[in-house]
Structure 1
């Protein structure tokens, strides 16, 4: 993490380069920066994708944000791919006869036939856990009954002195029922965070037992329970990465409740977040500039933003660019 003064220096350098179209050497000379100061500021800006290291010129901040989000999503995609492979191995191969070399235990719960058994195992694990329960939840059609059961389990866990963490998809915060539920979780002592992208549904108990959705793309594919150090350690690392990069609930932008974007609005939003101007967006979508300008105005109003850039940032944080 850079020192605050170093960050201010990098901001001044970027502002000089961006507003005046200067290279980093020209901007550094104009700001009378020493070689060490210039190198440190440039390194900071390159790390944020705000300087093109080949040309030495400034990159638009909205475009840099879009690139950073794409890089993060690629990293998550790779972790999700690892999870899918682990789930397939657990579901289809680990049950075959063979030599066992560790303490790994696998159970598969088909959603259609074994859902009550899965809930029973969740209750059992909640009672047996001694230190921490961590969960992540992608956007889903939650019911009040399911949420009430989850809240009851969390109350028991907090009462038993456990650390309980709950990670949710930011886009679900547009649902008044989910927002009230998350606020209630925080009130009873659950640590809550939100992320633009949640790769799969997962519950981790004391970093030794995990229940994970068998297929991240299909809730009806059932769930896999895994006990043991190897696979669970990898899935715990996935959780830690998502938790580390997530936001506190109060930092999630507020939008109109239940808002649903049209396909046209989504298309404009993606190009807007990449730093494209209205004329370029109109040309790319084959529509008029007037229509694009009107749509951008609608989006900034929905997002409660005061600028195009802020609209892109808030849309990203809400998970609307996925």
Structure 2
């Protein structure tokens, strides 16, 4: 894993942005007291104390008595703890979803199973998804992952039109989505520029679209789609509520793919912004160069220019500068 991956992965594993900044500062400059951290990072002493306490609780810092320095410790144990928590949370969300449906099915209080869930396969899946999305009135939430069934185009004019009409979109993209050729430039970034709120995770548990809290379409991600090429359309029920909770859990864990209203004095080019977004998502160098349509040599020239602008000695410091200055 590259140093650029670290900041994003720690947030995915549950650390707050402030805790990540504190941890990065300690790795960069060595042990520091609560007061020194507050002064260096321009935060309140209470914020520094809370962030350090989170890192201590996660096993990444050694506990420090009053007025003594916090010191990073070997991270293996702490990372195991954070990873286990994240895996447990996602597993629990899936179990809750399954249990909610089983309880509803056994209760016999609601509509029949045929009314609760539609099972659609083959070419009809795409048409049914389009119909559902077209009917959105307030919001659309989506966990986005391959495979994609509309292979003839990468653009998404319907979403852009709905965003202009005031419909809210929140999307969590799997890393595999951004590695699809031209998908970031042709689909994702135009939607973000139109107002979509976007985050990214290394992977998402299912493909999911929720429309207005009244219907969901759920199907399998790339690894399972060849075996289970079906989409389930879920109507209002405990299962729909559980799917909504699953999305919100993934949303909280995701890393911002892009923020509007940058406060940075450095005006980034479109290529630089795409490069930083892909780096933050953990995409490898070759895939980034291919997505940007440049050679590896040109890619590294872009990287060098960004690092000079940020005053960064390595990718980790570049990631910190990009996060702190709203470059992403």
- TM-score if structure 1 supplies the norm length? 0.57
Q: 1:247 aligns with which of 245, 249, 256?
A: 256
Flag the structure with larger Rg: 1
Matched, 1:44 2:51: yes
Pair 145,238 (structure 1): closer, same or farther in 2 beyond 3 Å: same
Report the Cα offset of residue 164 of structure 1: 1.9
Number of the residue aligned with 1:169 = 174
Matched residues in 2 for 1:28 and 1:75: separation?
Answer: 32
Corresponding residue for residue 128 of structure 2: 121
Structure 1: how far apart are the matches of 2:54 and 2:124?
Answer: 48
Uncovered stretches (5+) of structure 2, i.e. residues with no partner: 1-14, 38-43, 259-272, 290-299, 321-328
- Displacement of 1:172 after TM fit? 3.6
Match of 2:8 in 1: none
Aligned residues: CA RMSD: 5.1
Alignment of 1:111-190 (within 5 A): 114-140=121-147, 144-145=151-152, 147-148=154-155, 151-180=156-185, 181-190=187-196
- Cα deviation, 1:200-251, whole Å, max 9, x if unaligned, reads 1100011121111157841131221111141212211221122233312356
Corresponding residue of 2:323: none
Spell out, residue by residue over 1:88-116, the C-alpha distance to the aligned partner (whole angstroms, 9 max, x if none).
859xx95xxx873135711112xxxx333
Cα 1:229/1:175, change in 2 over 3 Å: same
User: Per-residue displacement from partner, 1:95-140 (whole Å, max 9, x unpaired)?
Assistant: xxx873135711112xxxx333222222222232211111111254
Bigger shift: residues 121-130 or 202-211: 121-130
Deviation at 1:170, TM superposition (A): 3.2
Pick from 86, 107, 110: which aligns with 1:102? 110
Q: Residue 242 of structure 2 is aligned with which of 187, 211, 234?
A: 234
Helix, strand or coil at the partner of 1:168: strand
Structure 1 residue matching 2:225: 3-state secondary structure: strand
DSSP 3-state at the match of 1:161: coil
**Is the Cα contact below 8 Å between 2:216 and 2:234 reproduced in 1?**
yes
Counting matched residue pairs gives 253
What residue is the counterpart of 1:193 in the other structure?
Answer: 199
SS of the equivalent of 1:198 reads: coil
Give the TM-score normalised by the residue count of structure 2. Answer: 0.56
Q: State yes or no: 1:82 paired with 2:107.
A: no
Aligned residue among 208, 214, 239 for 1:208? 214
Q: Contact 2:97–2:239 at 8 Å: present in 1 too?
A: no
Q: For residues 92 and 176 of structure 2, what CA distance do their matches in structure 1 show?
A: 21
Q: Is the 8 A contact 2:62 2:73 kept in 1?
A: no
- Give yes or no for contact 1:155–1:188 (8 Å, CA) kept in 2: yes
* 5+ residue gaps, structure 1: 32-36, 261-300, 315-322
Tell me how far 1:44 sits from its aligned partner. Answer: 3.2
